[in-house]
Structure 1
Amino acid sequence: MRLNLNFRIKSMKRLTTTLFLLLGLAVSNCDQLGLNGLNPFEKDKKENDAIALAFLALTGGASPTKENFLITYANIAEKNYSDAYTAAVSFQTKVNAFVANPTQTGLNELRTEWRKARVSYLQTEIFRFSNGPIDNKEVVFETISGESKEIEPLVNAWPMDESYNDYLVTNGIVSKAALLPANEQEEATADEPTESAKHVSVGWHAIEYTLWGKDNATSNAVTAGQRPLADFVSSANFANRKTYLKSATDLLVDHMTILKKQWSSTDSNSYYYKFIKDADGKSLDSVLRGIAKFAYGEWGGERMSGAASGSQEEEHSCFSDNTKNDFYYDATGFENIFTGTYSGSSVSPGIGLGSILTSEEKTATLKNISNAKLFCLNEHDEDTSLNQTCANGTISYRFDQVIVASAVGTTQHTIFTGTIQTSVKAIGKTIQSAAKRFGTTIEDSGLNL
């Protein structure tokens, strides 16, 4: 299945619009609900009842129980990882065609396909830190040199030392067998003065660097990396670079295959069944801890800290300038879990996290989700048809400019740090607070990486 970014964006917009219409009827349009003129206590009760009805409409009448939420969560994970796998395979097909016949048109199409494939994967990131297959080597792992490794660092490790990837290409360390043990060795570099850059040989960002090359951060250029086609057809080590691209992509598909199988409802030995069986009573505990940590520490923390530091090298997808998409689809991934929907449709039994939270927590979180998605996805140089028309109040400038708070980006820098990042962190804090009702105490230290 070929992912269409415009379709996915429109589907998410329709879902968000529908949800907000329902909850807007429940909370904001007091005249239509007949709530004006009531005393505050009666008004609060009727608003809460209306919110409950709105969520009931989204869930198809299923009971808002912990068990139904866990099943919905697992079913979303199954669909999401299946789509992410399919997208990775589609990208792999493009890579194979390009390696066989490198052209400028092919390179542009490959870059666009990378962006499209990221749409599904980014939505899976909400499953991080929850003791699931993505980052628990006791659940599923890759064995490298006799040592168990988590899958996540082999798929999405960041930040990375670009010079190390150049070293691998120069020295012909480009086979699948060679790239795996070369991953995740840390070494401080001039490119990462505030934090150790990692020797990342595989995964989305290693492939991203291979396709785009280094972004020109020093001149505040308003373009992504500009790796020339010659690097794949005539420059020194061009054959190694093509082999590197193919090997890293093949490994990406291998690892996405593992994740897809682990979340399969058709395999009784998969993690999916262990999760929904919840034999040890810890599935919900793990989910709440994972969401809170991802929102506060990773998504709203480490990844967004680059805007506060002013360093463009801290940008999450700095080579492709895909960072706005990263943040937008991380928000969409949380929205999926919160609403019990995926790709615009309810997922049986349709009990999202919001269904088991209080009305105050639901209302606040919906507002924070809306704030977290204030990005205009308009930096697709390779295919400008994918660009959105930017609304006021969204991050419409290139993220490089937002980070450095340049003359053109100062106002947007404020939107990012003052509204978007604050709202994402607030999501983590809300989950931390809500978790107590389910017997889960998340210490402040549990919110940070």
Structure 2
Amino acid sequence: MTAQLSDIGQTTIDLLVELVRNGCENDLTPDSGQEIRSAETLERFFDGAPVTIRRVEPHPGRTTLVVSVEGSDEFAEPLTLLGHTDVVPVDRAAWSHDPFGAEIADGQIWGRGTVDMLGLTAAMATVTRDLARNARPRGTLTFVAVADEEARGGLGAGWLAQHQPDLFSWGNCISEFGGSHLPVRDGSDAVVVAVGEKGAAQRRLTVHTEPGHGSTPWRRPSAVQRIAEVAVRIAALQPPASHEPLWRDFVQAFRFDPDTERALLAGADDDAYEAFGPLARYAHAISHLTVAETVIGAGRAINVIPGTASLELDIRTLPGQSDDDVDRVLRTALGDMADEVAIEHLISEPATASPTDTELYRAIEATVGEFFPGVPVVPTIGSGGSDLRFARHLGGVGYGFSLYRRERTLGEVQGLWHGTDEHIGVDDVDLTARALHRLVARFIGA
């Protein structure tokens, strides 16, 4: 197996094993993660290479490493590779492999973060070191091993964007979510590249009634009853489908029969999404404002009728949808209850998307074409978030890029993100490392 790998692929796999074993679990608390372990691994990895290394640590142990290769032409376009080193927690008992053992078996590397996104982070580091050692680029190349991505970047990319936005260039960025294949209905191929992601518009809905003793409930309205009615009304929400070009291009890439394509583009038939098979939920998510009821709270004592109850909503917006749009949708759904329900804004971030008419996107298309000649590249958006949104907020462009073998479909790869027994193919790591090397060299002129 090892003999079949490229040198850059083998180096990437060796580094990936170390990063997985560091076990930088981020449980959303400030003291978790401890990405300093992977920062130290990467510092050793770059030891002796002609690079500039800077550490950033907004909180003890939450370390981001910035590695730069200075370009020879100050006017050449720079490129930044945004990798993250934290991973989501695991339920160890549910895994059939040690989640932090990085075991290589059956052509796969098993472990938390192999897909999201330590495999790509390792490839970014390997490509950066190789180019630093062997060719001075025209444009400056920066590799950033970011902390805290899994908690929305408050101690990572978000902190950097707010407090040290000039530490490196955000103008052209590459990160996760790209390179898998679509199961096109006629058997042909298509490769997806993320050009954007949905926004966050989290809300807490609260109702108030008169509290009372649980022994005398007659004609006493309960906040539990009222919030239950709120939940029923919100659950019945049916936001309209997107009519944006990104959704149209995604649908057309599957080459459905004309009736199915029309139904999906019109957005009038939810059953039409079944045509996507395992990708149905994802397809529905990237074509709609989505509202998920996730947390409910009311009462503390069993003998007290509560006077306050709340419902929290995980709402994800499409590009162009504002906080005001979200509140209008909620009030419409609440109907005659709207005036008695308080709507509180929690985390709110707009959706972001980068154009496809850029030099970096064209470089991505050309690179995919090298490895999969004649295969179209389909731009799409992520249903969740990534650090690329900070680049877009600062005026840059950002795309998700890696590359998988032909049989690795978008649905299969998505199913591994944050999942039990997360794993990645050894040959997929090798392919990603080689493709990323070509992309970087093409774009910065190495």
Shorter chain as normaliser: what TM range?
under 0.3
**Using CA pairs below 8 Å that are at least 6 residues apart, which structure has the higher relative contact order?**
2
Task: Please state which structure has a larger fraction of its residues in strand.
Answer: 2
Higher helix share: 1
- TM-score when normalising by structure 1: 0.22
Which has the larger Rg?
A: 2
